Amino acid sequence: MKPLILFRVDPRAVDPASALQRVEPDAPLLTATDLAATRGDGVFETIVVVDGIPQAVEAHLDRFERSARLLDLPAPDRAVWRRAVEAVAAELRVPRGAVKYVLSRGDEATGALTGWALGFAPLRQRAEPPAETDAVLLDRGYRSDVAKTSPWLLQGAKTLSYAVNMAANREARRRGAGEVIFVSSDGYILEGPNSTVIARIDGEYITPPVEFGILPGTTQADAFDALRTEDERVAVRALTPADLFTADALWLCSSTRGAAPVRSLDGRPVPVDHDVTRRIFAHLNARKA
């Protein structure tokens, strides 16, 4: 997707007002020695913007900080990055767009951190809840406890090293599906390459624990808020593939789409609850920053 807006962000700026520099989105920005490009060595977030309002900004900044900490990067200055998000969002003059912001370990030749923030638009119109999707289960190769035993594997960090996620998405397409749900080597449901899982089982909405080395889902968290408001039962608990195959509904949550209903898993039909999907979508769109 072609970005409409690009700001170079100086992660070390003392004054947030001077941290941003507007540049042409299709002009070269990064040197060939930027560690983002040479090592996938950086972190990022993507925030949806509805009618000019960036959604769940603080939750995304929290996760950005967490990812930076897991990668031993200098702590991002929240004021700088908040301003970057707001500056991009203010210019996205469509009902639904997105801001992506990136912190790289920087240029290996100079040692200077690099940062940038992009604006994309339009995304799917806000009036339209996410389409049904077909998912497949794929082995993530890691045990569910590696975030504890082996933190250098960076599970739970949203890094630029996404080649495995992209390869998994290609494997899903080869299998005629649109989405992946990763399974740990010890048999637990983890997350999608770009999404968080919610399963409804016996009326309870369940998402796997972040202790399994997955990202804290900002959209899943707000979907749970919506469900709590409606007095639904929500829980954070381990799930297995068998649980998903017998779920009475299943969603994959991501910022840009919301909670997308899964209609099949490994080719087996999964019931879709359009009513709940619509209600979660309405709640997400009504968020303030």
Pick between residue 120 and residue 251 the one whose CB is nearest to its own copies.
120
Q: Which of 84, 118, 198, 227 binds its own copies (CB under 8 A)?
A: 118
Euclidean distance between CA atoms 248 and 237, whole angstroms: 16
Euclidean distance between CA atoms 98 and 69, whole angstroms: 24
Pick between residue 51 and residue 171 the one whose CB is nearest to its own copies.
171
Over the window 40 to 59, marking each residue x when it contacts its own copies by CB under 8 A and - when it does not, the resulting string is xxx-x---------------
Q: How many residues bind its own copies (CB under 8 A)?
A: 62
Does residue number 34 form part of the binding site for its own copies (CB under 8 A)?
A: yes
Euclidean distance between CA atoms 281 and 260, whole angstroms: 9
Handedness of CA 47, 191, 201, 273 (dihedral sign): positive
Pick between residue 13 and residue 29 the one whose CB is nearest to its own copies.
29
Overall size of the chain counted in residues: 289
For residue 183, which of 228, 162, 213, 226 has the smallest C-alpha distance?
213
Phi (first) and psi of residue 156, to 5 degrees: 100, -10
Beta strand residue intervals within 121-194, DSSP E: 133-139, 179-183
Over the window 212 to 251, marking each residue x when it contacts its own copies by CB under 8 A and - when it does not, the resulting string is ----------------------------------------
DSSP for residue 56? S
Let me know: does 114 contact 7? Beta carbons within 8 Å: no
Q: Which of 14, 17, 125, 163 binds its own copies (CB under 8 A)?
A: 163
Smallest distance from the beta carbon of 211 to its own copies, in angstroms?
A: 15
Q: Which of 47, 50, 61, 71 binds its own copies (CB under 8 A)?
A: 71
Q: Which residues bind to its own copies, rule: CB under 8 A?
A: 1-3, 6, 25-42, 44, 71-72, 100, 102, 104-105, 108-110, 116, 118, 138-143, 146, 149-155, 157, 159-168, 170-171, 185
